[in-house]
Structure 1
Amino acid sequence: MESGAVPKSATDSVNRTLANVEELQNHMQEFLALFKPEVLAQMPPLERAQSQLMFAKITSTLFTLKLRCTGVNPDGHRVKSELERLSLYQDKMERLVDLSKAPLRPSTTLNSQAATRVIEHSLPDLTPEQRRHLRDISRGEGQKMDYEERSGQKKRKYRTSEKQSVQMAAKEFLEKAARELLGNSSDDIKGPVQIDVSDDE
């Protein structure tokens, strides 16, 4: 070194690396103390999986570093497939962590297309225009409201004809349901089954 065969920048890098390795050794001893089966058994499953993945990444990275220091290219070594496998597990772990932070029950959303199909099939007396309008909505081609309109910040303005046709369809549906449930002597539609009990029985 005194003759200047090794540049000062190289010796500084080696010294810095040795200091980092010593610091890593101290941290690894602390980490390995926590990596005992009885300690892992007390952890929740997600934390246990995270710590095991972290340990696998640390050992693979240290082995890759050792290969580089001995002059072996890790790209041609089997450790490369191990690093790729750990990368896949890291992606899975991130998805699981995101799922664990999500609410237990997702908020319910209305499937408007399915709802319009149910309405169309439950109202047999719709006009052709009303049926076409419902089919357009079920295909997603009808008028859509944006979030502000749904949340009440803006009121949707219905055309008078739309409002009247909806009110008429609802009125007809309610009248027909009442006839079917209560019965009506003037119509052929029969009401619910009624048991006629005579005095003799």
Structure 2
Amino acid sequence: MNRFRVVLASAIAASGLGVAACAPQSASPVPQESAPRSSAVDPAMPRVEHPKDLEAVEDPCQLLRPDQLAQLGVVGEPIREQSPWGEALCVWGARTDGVRVNLAPVTTLNIGLRSVLRSVSKTAPDDNVDGYPVVVSQPLTYSCGIYVSTTPEDTFSLNVDRGDSDRVDQQDPCALAKQVASMVLSNIPDKN
């Protein structure tokens, strides 16, 4: 059996050398132009028709206006924290029993939706909000985590907990998270 493997390996090597010997040789290798990486081909970095400039937002606590927070029934001052990847994040409603919103921009990693897709075993975004690709990462009974792509590289993470809200429009936490995402998107400037 060992002899058969040696003969087979020799035959493969000889045929490879024969092909290489017959191939035309040039003085210098011709560079192969690779097509530019298109975000349409990579579902983890989907094309965004109208990109938003999330990097221009210095304070994520400015991404929900007071009137929007009132519409959601969120009360109290926001809490500013730092995300595990080093960017600022904002939490509204942390000290109440009602709706709680946790918003974290992801602009320094340049990975689009790749990491969240891998962590939730998905191959592409499941939905969109106002035309922006969305991956639902943590659909639970009282809370829902989503990631929204604002450019192929930049996203924001949004986790909404409906708490003890008895409002009919807040019983589906993922629908509520998408409603909040729409509000956030309306406050992010367009990217030029």
- The answer to whether the superposition gives a TM-score over 0.5 is no
TM-score by length of 2: 0.26
Q: Please identify which structure carries the higher helix content.
A: 1
TM-score by length of 1: 0.25
